[in-house]
Structure 1
Amino acid sequence: MERRRFLGLAAATGAAAGAALTAGCGSDAGTQSSALKVVAADYGEPGQGDGSQGYWDALVRRFRHRHPGIAVEVEVHGWKDVDKRVAAMVAAGRPPDIAQIGAYADFAAQRRLYSAGEVLSIPVQADFLPALAEAGEVRRVQYGMPFVASTRLLFYNRTLFVKAGLDPDSPPRTWNQLARAAAKLKAAGVKIPYGLPLGAEEAPAEAMMWMLSGGGAFTDKVGNYTIDAAANIKTFNWLRDSLVGPKLTNPDPGGTDRRELFAAFTRGEVGMLNGHPTLLRETRRRGVKYGTAVPPGAEGPSGATLGVADWVMAFKENGRRQDVGRFLDFVFSEENHYDFADRYDLLPVTTSANDRMRERAGHKPLRRFQQELLSAEFYPVGKVSWAKVSGDIKRGIGKAVAADADPVKVLSALQRRAEAEDYAVRES
């Protein structure tokens, strides 16, 4: 997820090659050429011994027992490397059969992918949450199969709220209430009243959350970029003038990554910030008393919150449609999919696994995130130009809140580049 996991799994350790688990008939059974090749991302935290390779190895062993004629090899890479690894394999003419990475639209536009309907059984495809299935579409055909998801809520430190004379049971519901709460936190000596990560790691997510809370978005309902829309300009003017200017945030929002602020929140140094489910684990482990709420909006609680998903795609280069389909049906079965989401405190993308998680008392803190997932707004990942536009946003949108910045100029420049990228894609 762009987005990545607690303490920056964008910096996760490099490749961890998965051992091939093979079986089958014929002389080539068990060789690399006969095995389904899967490249997946690592969701474990560096140094914690919870890497994803173990999950995939156990999954493949169970699959082998059920389908002894299909060999599978899974190669796991950290988020820093996995997208580049798959792109290099495709460029070399040796794409994997299945990739589990952050974006799919480029490959779909190049007609390299099977559609979801070509590989998944009808019950499995129908089990995806509708909003996520729709987010996986390019020109109304689903090519991206959601793997796991997250939503965002406002996290706040209840202990610091009490210290500042704020009611810990009444988090801010509007922007002005948030600014007033931040000012009281600052007066009480809180190091970072509101954590605003607009550095490269989190810029698209934090920016989109604020845009949504102000009635804007990166695109309109028909998919046209609207980065410099009036609602978005108003939002960034407010951020600059009401939070950053009065020094109610971290000193340099445009140069601050999410992982820094997540770590500071678990140390009790941040009063409020937007966060996703994986922040829960470390916060609880450190004994931080926290609350969550729908992010504040301009006039009331935000009418929409951000949803983020990672994606599975099936390449058709090697012609393994049936074998790929059998494996993916197994991956997305209720038990196996729930097992992965449960392991990393992420949200399942299927109705059956979501229902199972909702029934587990131990996952009660995730229920609000699950509820938000049903109506969340997602990045425009179905736009082929989004990968490059997202990169521009990562590098540039944090400048809009600098003390001497003009949000109109910053957002308009991003809008022009986005329109140019979109035009280039259409003309190619």
Structure 2
Amino acid sequence: MAVAAVAALSVTGCAAATGNAPAVLGYAADRPPVTIDFWYMPAGGAVQDEAVVAETKAFHADHPNITVNPVRVVWEDALTRISTASTSGEGPDVTQLGTTWVGGFSALGALRPYTKAEIAAVGGQSAFAAASWSSSHLAGSSQTTAMPWLVDIRSLFYRTDVLAKAGLDPDTAFATWESFEATLAKIKADGGGVAPLAIGNQNTFGIIHNVAPFIWGAGGDLLDETGTHSRLAEPAAVDAVSYYQRLVSLYDDPAAMKLISSDVPDAFARGMGAVTIDNSQSIADFLANPDRAGLQAGWGTAPMPAGKAGRFGFLGGSNLAILKGARHPDAAFEWVRFLTSQKSQQRYAVNSGYFPARTEAVAGTRLATDPKYAAFREMLGHGKMYPSVPAWVTVETVIAKDFSELWHASGALPRAEVEATLTRTTADIDATLQDSTATGIGN
């Protein structure tokens, strides 16, 4: 449905949006009262919901003539709903966008570009993490269409009691691919009946976010530097996918495999699995709700294991976009300016557990000092984003479909079988990328 919705957008026209600069920057206090709709996507639990509501109240206190109506949209539905909203003209004024979606929606002219004056008003490009800013626009475009907001960097969560029972030292257990696999095998043998892994495999982005770091760690990549061809059939990528497929097939809890990614943190907190991969938002949730069985047994975090090409982690997150059809674009910009301010970024980051995209907002918060966040602070330096190409959403779906079949295989597959699957996947991706170019997407 999501792919069909995005594809439908291309029928409405593919020219890049030019946007209209507001006569006066922002929404002045003497203008009439308005209500703007804001769509946001929580990662799980009530922590982020509460944090969003808190920010809307703080914003309204500063801007009494603007009321923000926050609308919760689950990630699994968000792509389709935003796509439909973009074509119908009945969507929100401001929406949260996954960083991997910016290229596609920008190419389709669905987003209102930020003006140079607006970019300067939020502090300019230099105020944000370089990786986050790279996702603020379509690759190769000079138009900023999505303001960086949150950073999604991933690390390992583990049960301290299970590692202790198996006689494992967390400082070395997850250091490399070899030690990571040995750790999972040891937990399976001596972990007291707790499954080594808890990884969900029922939604697109979760499947890819977890395996991409291993592909990069092997020296491979998803697409080439031009963003026009897949590299998944190359030996490094085949090695990485074979390794990860073995881990999932041998060590993942069968019940976890049936979950979508956003349901895994709570399952882990309740005692499912000894190790999982997730972003820092789960730390805020775990600290706020520590009474679940898995958490009471003890838990910690660790950086992703290093491959022969180094240590890598998926770095994504969320940006803030004003839709081209926004009813109140000036008021919408005031909301974006508020959310990307240092004070809001610090409050929201601490309350939600995400890292702020604004670099100065980390200092002075628990994100900079709490040992639970240490692994994530380290992984920020090893994060890598997907390419901001228009067809990425479709590419992601192609990858997830084939990878899902590999993850659900009964037992570790021969490397040749994995290679055959990735060869097919590469052909499908290349066809998708060629089709997107032929239809004008991104022009």
What is the TM-score when the length of structure 1 is the normalising length?
0.80
- Distance 1:191-1:299 versus aligned 2 partners, 3 A rule: same
Which deviates the most, 247-256 or 137-146? 247-256
C-alpha displacement at 1:45, in angstroms? 4.5
Decide whether the 8 Å contact of 2:162 with 2:194 is kept in 1: no
Matched ranges for 1:137-176 at <5 A: 137-138=137-138, 139-141=140-142, 142-176=144-178
Q: How far apart, CA to CA, are the structure 1 residues paired with 2:136 and 2:110?
A: 15
The answer to whether residue 438 in structure 2 is matched with residue 427 in structure 1 is: yes
Aligned residue in 1 for 2:71: 76
Q: Distance in 1 between matches of 2:377 and 2:353?
A: 11
CA RMSD across the alignment: 3.1
CA contact (8 A) 1:121 1:329 kept: no
Structure 2 residue 192 is matched with structure 1 residue 185: no
SS state at 2:363 partner: helix
Distance 1:253 1:44 in 2: 17
Aligned residue in 2 for 1:135? 135
Cα contact 2:95–2:322 (8 A) shared by 1: yes
CA–CA distance in 2 between the matches of 1:151 and 1:163?
Answer: 29
State the AA in 1 paired with 2:395: V
Is the Cα contact below 8 Å between 1:152 and 1:277 reproduced in 2? yes
More helix by share: 2
Q: Using the alignment, how far apart are the partners of 1:248 and 1:107 within structure 2?
A: 38
Name the residue aligned to 2:17: none
Instruction: Between 111-120 and 393-402, report the one with greater CA deviation.
Output: 111-120
AA in 1 matched with 2:375: R
- Counterpart Cα distance in 1 of 2:46 and 2:129: 33
Matches within 5 A, 1:322-361: 322-357=330-365, 361=369
Corresponding letter in the other structure for 2:207: A
Which of 367, 370, 382 lines up with 2:377 in the alignment? 370
Match of 1:389 among 386, 395, 404: 395
Instruction: Please state whether the residue corresponding to 1:194 is helix, strand or coil.
Output: coil
Amino acid at match of 2:321: M
- What percent of counterpart residues are identical? 18
Q: For 1:95-119, what per-residue CA distance to the aligned partner results, in whole angstroms no more than 9, with x for missing partners?
A: 5432223222232112343334443
What secondary structure is seen at the aligned counterpart in 1 of 2:365? helix
SS in 2 for 1:193: coil
Match in the other structure for 1:120: 119
Deviations 1:41-92 (A, max 9, x none): 1427456794455234314313314xx5xx3443412224444333222211
Q: Deviation string for 1:119-162 (max 9, x for gaps)?
A: 33255233111111012221243322222122111222221112
Question: Which shifted more, 92-101 or 349-358?
Answer: 92-101
Write the distance in 1 (CA, Å) between the matches of 2:168 and 2:428. 43
Residue of structure 1 in register with 2:21 after alignment: none
Q: 1:40 to 1:52 in 2, by over 3 A?
A: farther
Comparing 207-216 with 126-135, greater Cα deviation is found at 207-216
SS of the residue corresponding to residue 310 of structure 1 reads strand
**Change over 3 Å in CA distance of 1:186–1:355 after alignment to 2:** same
- Whole-angstrom CA distance in 2 between matches of 1:359 and 1:344: 11
Cα deviation for residue 400 of structure 1 reads 2.3
Q: Tell me, which stretches of 5 or more residues in structure 2 are unaligned?
A: 1-26
Q: Structure 1 stretch 412-421 or stretch 336-345: which is displaced more?
A: 412-421
Q: Is 1:298–2:307 an aligned residue pair?
A: yes
1:364 deviates by: 4.3
Residues 53 and 345 of structure 1, relative CA distance in 2, 3 Å threshold: closer
1:6-25 matches, cutoff 5 A = none
Q: Is the 8 A contact 1:358 1:367 kept in 2?
A: no
Alpha-carbon deviation of 1:377? Answer: 0.5
Q: Which residue number in structure 1 is paired with residue 200 of structure 2?
A: 197
Alpha-carbon distance in 2 for matches of 1:234, 1:44? 31
Preserved contact between residue 43 and residue 281 of structure 2 (Cα < 8 Å): no
Mark the runs of 5 or more structure 1 residues left unpaired by the alignment: 1-21
Question: Are 2:236 and 1:227 aligned?
Answer: no
Inter-CA distance 42–123: structure 2 relative to 1 (3 Å threshold): closer
Counterpart contact for 2:122–2:341, Cα < 8 Å: no
The residue identity in structure 2 corresponding to 1:211 is I
Asked whether 1:237 is paired with 2:242, we answer yes
* Alpha-carbon separation, structure 1, partners of 2:279 and 2:405: 24
* Pair 423,182 (structure 1): closer, same or farther in 2 beyond 3 Å: same
Q: Specify whether residues 379 and 253 from structure 1 end up closer, same or farther in structure 2 by C-alpha distance, changes over 3 A only.
A: farther
Aligned length: 392
412-421 or 257-266, which moves further after superposition? Answer: 257-266
- Ranked by relative contact order (alpha carbons within 8 Å, sequence separation 6 or more), the top structure is 2
Q: Which moved more, 1:48-57 or 1:152-161?
A: 48-57
Cα offsets for 1:163-203 (capped at 9, x unmatched): 11222443232222222221211111333113343332510
How far apart are the structure 1 equivalents of 2:108 and 2:119? Answer: 21
Q: Would you say 1:85 and 2:54 are equivalent positions?
A: no
Deviation at 1:367, TM superposition (A): 4.1
Question: Could you say what secondary structure the match of 2:185 adopts?
Answer: helix
> Separation in 1 of the partners of 2:94 and 2:48?
25
Cα-to-partner distance string for 1:350-393 (whole Å, 9 max, x where unaligned): 012122436864x442243134224410122x211111222233
**Which of 249, 265, 268 pairs up with 1:262?**
265
**1:135–1:259 Cα change, 3 Å:** closer
Deviations 1:260-293 (A, max 9, x none): 5433432344222222212324545133423322
State whether residues 40 and 71 of structure 2, in contact with CA within 8 Å, keep that contact through their aligned partners in structure 1. yes
CA distance in 1, matches of 2:208, 2:303: 19
- Alignment counterpart, residue 109 of structure 1, candidates 103, 107, 127: 107
1:298 maps to amino acid: G
